[in-house]
Every structure is written in C-alpha cells, then in structure tokens.
A and B are shown apart, each in its own frame.
Chain A
C-alpha cells in the first residue's frame, strides 16, 4: 500500500479539531488517525496535521514468490454479510476486497474507495469510487456495484445479516431506505443518513463488509468473483483452504502487493499444543493468533512475536433473562467479588490492560475516566445473602480455548474465595458457540471496534442480534442514540460517562481486561504483524 493520490481538498473542520485535541494530549495519536481518516483526510495529511511525517514506506523491497502456510480455523463458508468469525473473512480477503481497510496504527486506508468526505454533522457522505478497478470476470467496478452492496448490507430479511445494525442510518423497515444511496455518476456515490453516524466509514472496514459482485449467490468459494488478486483453489471445513494468485486477472493495485504465489490455511483444531508440534515439524509458517502460555513456547522454537494493543476483551457476562441473573443485586455482588487486576495477572499472564466492567476502552477516543470498579468480597457475600441467593450454586461456562478457561477459572476462584458456591463448566469450542447468546453466565471474546460506541451499539442496545446479556435499558438506549450523533470527542465523552456508569450500575458484565493480541511467524515473513482486528491481509505479505 504505497501512496494513494487523492485530489487536494479542504480538510474537514472536525479533523482540525481532533488534531488540536491530539496535540493537547486529549486524544492519542492512534485515535486521532482513526477519526481523522474516517472523515476523509488522507493518512499522510492526518500525520501532517499533528506535525509528524507519515511513516516511511518500508525499507526493504518486497520479493515475489513463495508459499505461506498459516494455522487458522477453517469454518464452513457463507454469505459475507452473515460472517460471524474474522477467520471466515481472512480466507476470502485475497479476492473479496473492502471499501476501506483498518490499519495497525488505527488509520484507515482507502481500498475500493479513492477518497471520501463527510459533511459538517456527519449526515451526508460522498464516496469517490476507485477508478480502473475490474472484477476478475472482466466487468468494470462501478458505483452501481457499491450501491448494490449497500442494499445487501441493509437487508434485514436475511438470517444472521450482521451488517444491518451498522446500516441503521440508511435503512428503513428492514431494508435500504429509498434515496439513501444516491448514484451521482459512474464513480461517485452519495449517502444520505437520517441521523448523524460517525462510524459509517469505519463500519465499511469491518470484516462482514466484503464487497461482492452483483451476481453473487451466497457462496464466496464456489462463485469467487471479486476484485482482488487471488482466487480460491480448495476449501475444506475443519481441514484447510488453499488460495493462489489469479493469473487471469489484472489487479488494480498491481505491483504493490500479491507477492506470494500461494497461501495455505491449515486448521489444526483448537489445541495449541498441536500447533506447536506442527510448527516444530516445519508444517506451518505463521499462526493466526498465539495466546497465553504458548507465547513463550513459540518464541523458544524460533518464531518471531508481534503484538497489537487493542480494545479486544473477554466479556464474562450475565444473561439477564436467566434467573438468578435477572436480579441486579446478584450481578453486582458477583462483580464485586472479583478483582480484575488479579484476573489479568493470573488468568491472562498480564498480557493486557485492566478493564472496568463497562466495555469502553481507554484507547477509545470518547472514553470517560472512571474510578476502578469496587472490589469487596465480604460485601459481595452479604449482598448475595440479602438477595436470597446465599446458598445458590452458580455455574460459569466457558469454551475450551486456553485463555477463556484460565480467565474463567480465576474469576470462579475469586468468587469461591468470597464464600460463594460456583461451579465451572468447559465446553468444546464447536459446541460452545452454538448457544453463546443464551448461557446464563459465560465468557465471550469480543474483537475490538475502533470507536467506543460501536460495541455498545452491537452488543448492549435492546433487541440487538448480538445482545448476549439481554440488557434492555431505555435510558441506555436513548443516551447511546445521542452519543452516536456527537462527532466531537469531548462532547461525546460527557454522554459516554453516563453510558459507562449505567453499564456499571446495572452490573452487566465482569470485564477483567483488555487484551493485547499476539501472533507468531517465522523470521523473514514481512507485513504479517498481528492486526488489532485479527485481519490477515495476505495479499500484502511477502517472504524473504
């Protein structure tokens, strides 16, 4: 990804404001970049606004050729808009591209967009579609195709379409609102939002937002029409997938990527010791993600570790529809019995930052500072007894993934230490995720979203598809809607403080830490550093 030349235009006033905040230290560099680029400022210009030079293009010249073998879960493929795992997206990234791409430093890179602009209050976006892009079946890529994708994303009649909740501002009655997407000319599109939405462009970088051809029928492997430089060779659920460079297609970004000849994904199951054995036998070059105790092991066998600081987390949450967790005091008491710092230290090897039980991360621009959550095991025990659950036997469920297990074991141990009876249940990964929304008390890993309001929108708004806590609070919903329309970080922070407070008052979840993410790869694999949203942009990797 070298320079994307965009026409010189006035810098969005909000971006200047963010720059000021950044220089004043209210906004860290990463957040500034995310927000400024989301408003249509190029990454180079954004760095310029805060008086820095953009990071120099990489010093080494990429080498063409070679094969890369990546350990990763291979799940049955389906329509991208219904993807529920980033692994599904990673397989297809080579041919299904995105409008924009979220980078490791928090900035956005235009991919199928050339540039974009937002109006003052973020209710109208002008998208300039990249010129010279063709689909791998020869069709030119036009604004009509993009409009078609917006229509697909807004379609609520499709079971499991997770893009719907990201398209609320341009939808109506479960489908795209008439006139919300206006095709101005062949390469220009205008979005008319019915409410301000600061996350519109960032949402297009989320993994279910892969851009597909109008003829797409729901099977990205069987019908692999895309704009990217690769194509699928084989895909076997639970076993592996192979992707190769497409010789019959000229990629728009030719010369700046697609170095590797062939990428093989190998699914070795959920047990990291099988990954170690495989890496030792020289069968894999790179891991999708390394966790827990295995960090040191992979380093010891000669692989290189990369880290991404993120707002990803493990939510040890209650389902408020299942008794006894419908009782707020029960939830609050269990929260109080757990010291998050201890969980981070013992359950996650201290590989992250302590969190505060409200699912808004200090790296989010609108994070409002709060006191650490109350920790008082004795009071917790008393509170439970008052609520009439002194003798109740609680059960904490988790998947068998190592860090899930370790974290939940520690949470349970602390609850037990407070004199409360609690059992642990560990389910195999494949079974666990079938019912993740409905377990009374369990742990779910959440990937990070660039803005603080985004996860709240996805997971805690009443009736949302992914609302696993069954949290339904009128005041919260209204305040959140308000926050969604405030472009200014400081102004939004005031509203955010209230949101964070509601989350805590209602005892929605025990959220012990923010995870740093790690990945191991063999020396000599470039551009493959861990990505905060787990993305594997293999079209830009190369081997020396």
Chain B
C-alpha cells in the first residue's frame, strides 16, 4: 500500500514538472512576453518601452534559468536601479535582505499574478474555494439523481421505466452547458419571457424573476435563488452520463448467476437490488464520479463565464487570455494534483467496494 502511494506521488510529481515546463515554455515565447509588458505598463507603449520593462522585471534571462527560479532551484534575479534601490524576484516577497536567495515553489512561494496584482496563492485559494462550493452543490444534486435514475433504469432492462429514463439521460447529456444554460436563463430568469412573467401575472410571485440569471452575488452568499441555475446547468449535463454508466453496470449485474439464485431462493425484488446488486453495480459509476471531479474543476469554464461566477475555470480563462505566467503555472499544478488525487481515491475506493481487488 505504501509503495503504491509512493509510486503514485512520484508519477504526480513527474507529470506536474512536465506539464508546467510546457506551460512555461508556451507562455514565455517572446511575443507572449511583449503582450505581458503591454498589459502591465500600458496598452499603448512603444517597443523600446517594452524592452525596458522586460529588462527591469527580470524577463530577459534564458528561459531555463527562469524556470529554475520559479521552481526554486536557481537563485532569484537581482537588479540595482540607477537610484540605488534593489529590485529582485525575492525582494517583493521577503524584503531586500532576501535578494539573490532562492524563492520558488520549493520554498513555498507560488509567485505573483500579473493580471490580478496579488500573490498567486491567494488568488488560486479564493477561486478554488468558490469553485469548491459550486462543485459541492453540483455533486450533491448530481450524484444521487444520477444513481437513482441509473438504478431504476437498469433494474429491468427494456421496461417502460428504462426507456423513458434512458431517453431523459441521453437528452440531458447531449445538451451542452452553453445551450442548457442559455435556455434556463431565458425560461426562468427573464422578466419579459419564459415563466417569470406568467407567475407574476397569476400573482404567484412578487419578485420580477424566478431565479437569478447571474451568480456573481453567490460570491458573498449562496442562496437558492442565485445558485440554482449554474448548479442545474452543470448537474444536468454530468448527470445523464453517470446515469448511463450506472444503468449499464446495473443491467449487467442483474443478469449474473447469483442474482438468479437469489430470486429462486425467494428474496424480494427490492432486497435483491439493494443488498445484492447495488454494491457490485456501483464500481463503474464510482470511477466516473471521481473522473467528474477534475472535469468539474477545469471544465466549468463555460458555465462560470456564462453566469459570471469567478471560480477556478473563470480564473484559468482570465489567466490564459492575459498571459499571466505564474498564475497559469500554479493552475496547472493544481489541476495535476486534483486529477491524480481523485484517481488515487478511486483506486483505493475499489478495494472497499470489491474485496477481490488488491492494491499493490
């Protein structure tokens, strides 16, 4: 078990290093650095000013050296201004005494976001928290719904319940978020079209709209009113997929010999489903649910941008369009960790769901 863990963590580190190097290389191409200088010093600055800005901020060293600085294996750059003040990578973090020391990931320094003008750790922390809340609610809504739909459909393959629930699951997973999100907003969050004007007319509702079509206020406080639409948009899309997997797994289990034995022995149908079939049928959906978590983290860009909810996906989008090097690097590290960590959890989870599987 320990060896298994150590190997997994090793893989995680190697993956993170490879990925960050690729991101570092792509964001440090000369044209990208020019973009960065322009967003920082003024969109309308000249080429000479760009060069001066890059030089003053330590961007004109070889790429590998700067990657080393970011990792914390190479001492940070130091530069003395004509007026005697000392500037450097570490000066901003730990003061002038620290000039020329190492300060990178290894020292626990994640860098500075040029887009948000704040330490990367702070930005990522706050945004991960916001996405975390969104994910939590999505999982709370999505997983039970998906499992129930999947199990009900898979119990009796080919029945009327199965057909109708499967149709629903396929329809929901075949509708991308940018379609369902817009439909939801039009139907439920507009005072001129959809349901809200009708409800108002019938006197069933005082507020102009049923739900909020914008989740910005959820940053300060999540309410049923402002969070329902983004949660439903994501949950509906993920739900159909998990439900389909659960159904497939359930129908397969229901054809097993031991289920037939149980039936012959006179066990009631609900007992067969709950006590004999369910546990075995959950292995496949469990992996899929675990795979959904990294998807929720990185794949919610569209929903977060659509509902202006500043979470991790939104931050990734902002960092990418503004070439915010250190924020992008940190985001990729976080993404690698989350993907591999959820896979680790699902591997360990198998052992408990099926005693025949061993982790070695």
Contacts and interface: CB of A to CB of B under 8 A. Distances in A.
Interface of A: 76-78, 82, 84, 159-160, 162, 236-240, 266, 268-269, 273-274, 276-278, 280-283, 300-302, 428, 430-431, 433-437, 465-466
B310 interface: yes
B343 interface: no
Highest count of chain B CB atoms <10 Å: which of A76, A237, A434: A434
Contact of A434 (B38, B117, B213): B38
B230 to A, nearest CB: 11
Interface residues of B, number: 41
B274 interface: no
A303 B172 CA distance: 36
B209 A280 contact: yes
Contact of A268 (B46, B189, B216, B318): B216
A301 B189 contact: no
Contacts of A302: 191
Contact of B39 (A273, A274, A434, A465): A434
A162 B44 contact: yes
A348 B305 CA distance: 26
16 contacts: A76-B114, A76-B116, A160-B45, A237-B115, A274-B306, A274-B308, A276-B190, A277-B307, A278-B216, A280-B189, A280-B191, A281-B211, A281-B212, A430-B321, A437-B43, A465-B45
B217 interface: yes
Nearest to A162: B44
B166 interface: no
Per DSSP, chain B at the interface is loop
B44 A434 contact: no
A470 to B, nearest CB: 12
Nearest to B212: A281
Interface string B290-321: 00000000000000011110100000001001
Given A76-B116, A280-B189, A238 B310 contact: yes
B214 interface: yes
Contacts of B49: 159-160
Contact of A301 (B42, B46, B192): B192
A77 B41 CA distance: 10
B279 to A, nearest CB: 44
B322 interface: yes
Contacts of A277: 185, 189-190, 212-214, 307
A281 B214 contact: yes
A471 B53 CA distance: 26
A427 to B, nearest CB: 9
B302 to A, nearest CB: 12
B211 to A, nearest CB: 8
B214 A160 contact: no
B52 interface: yes
A436 B43 contact: yes
A521 B332 CA distance: 41
Given A238-B116, A274-B214, A280 B306 contact: no
Highest count of chain A CB atoms <10 Å: which of B43, B219, B321: B43
A301 B117 contact: no
Nearest to A83: B42
Nearest to B318: A238
Highest count of chain B CB atoms <10 Å: which of A84, A240, A278, A280: A280
Given A84-B43, A159-B45, A266-B216, A280 B190 contact: yes
Nearest to A282: B208
Nearest to B226: A281
Contact of B116 (A237, A280, A436): A237
B115 A437 contact: no
B170 to A, nearest CB: 29
A269 B45 contact: no
Interface in B177-227: 185, 189-192, 207-209, 211-214, 216-217, 219, 226
Nearest to B315: A238
B35 interface: yes
Nearest to B217: A283
A301 B191 contact: yes
Contact of B322 (A82, A268, A430): A430
A159 B321 contact: no
A281 B115 contact: no
A281 B209 contact: yes
